[in-house]
Structure 1
Amino acid sequence: MDARKAKSRAAIVSAFSELLCEEDYGKITVGDIIARARVGRATFYGLFKSKDDLLAELVCDICTHALDDDGTPLDDPLVQVEHILSNLWDRRQGVRALVAGAGSRVFADSLRKTIVARATEALPVNPQGPAATMDRSFLLHHIASSFVGMVQWWAWHNFQANKADVAKDYLSAIKPLFS
């Protein structure tokens, strides 16, 4: 992506993130986003198909950024979960609004798809324990759906639980599948 497109994309994502903290997802329009970002409608649609597409990319960016190599051992599931939760914590006001508002379905679907993609990369081809007898697609969707449910629970409880504890509890709930 050239520098001009990258700058426009960053402005759109930033404007959208700000708007999510101020307004319910369902009330935000593409017009609101482009006005805040100070870009044209053609620029927006040159980068994103829709507001839902923008949300899906934002969720993917949150998870991807959280799992970029920053010197920590990213093969450790606890570190991976804590990284994603840290990124969600940093954006908790917008995430809470998404989980509780009109964007909840799009947010949950986007997060589920992102986690399925990550789990596909991380999950051994031949897992141990009960997971070894499960359909791989079912297992991946179960892991991702459990993750989405955990994030929703955390948001519904106003992010009061410590993110390290939430990560440990999530892994405690899915680890029996692999032993």
Structure 2
Amino acid sequence: MKEDFADKELENTQEDPVDNLTNHQSEKNEEIPVDDNVTDWEAKYNELNNSYLRLNAEFDNYRKRTLKEKAELLRSGSERVLVDVISVVDDFERALENVSKSEDVDAVKEGIDLIYTKFLNFLTKNGVKEIETIGHPFDTDKHEALTTIPAQSEEDKDKIVDSVQKGYTLNDKVIRYPKVIVAK
């Protein structure tokens, strides 16, 4: 008997789920006016669109400014290098003037050696290095093979035997490939 009383009491306290759902929907519809919602969305759209246009214009200005700065940097960088080369050219001009006047061949050779050393120091200072070739293994990424010759021993195979033209790197990037002869 106690169980029947508890079941009836439970039935009376349960709410109808359909009635509960319609009550929530009607409350929501009353709280949000449609005209205010559209106005808010339009204002938000206009704000975001304006922000996007400004950001796009700023980026375009940034891109143009960096391109201009890069071009200026290249011009001024090459100017610095050329100024250093001009001093080597001046030394060569003085040497050429003295070659015809001088009777001491050893002094002329010494002068040309000094100019050559100065020019090599200039190249090293600017990041240019000679690629070592003879006796090193042949590497297609660093060398250009002109021809091959038969190897005299097994350990000489795929090694560079002779260099026809020197190669150079600029800051570890090959700017001129050495032309070599490889033993096969």
Query: Do Structure 1 and Structure 2 share a fold, with TM-score over 0.5?
Result: no
Point out the structure with max Rg over C-alpha. Answer: 2
Quickly name the TM-score band, shorter chain normalised: under 0.3
Normalising by structure 1, what TM-score?
0.26
Normalising by structure 2, what TM-score?
0.25
- Choose between structure 1 and 2: higher helix proportion: 1
Where relative contact order (Cα < 8 A, 6+ residues apart) is larger, the structure is: 1
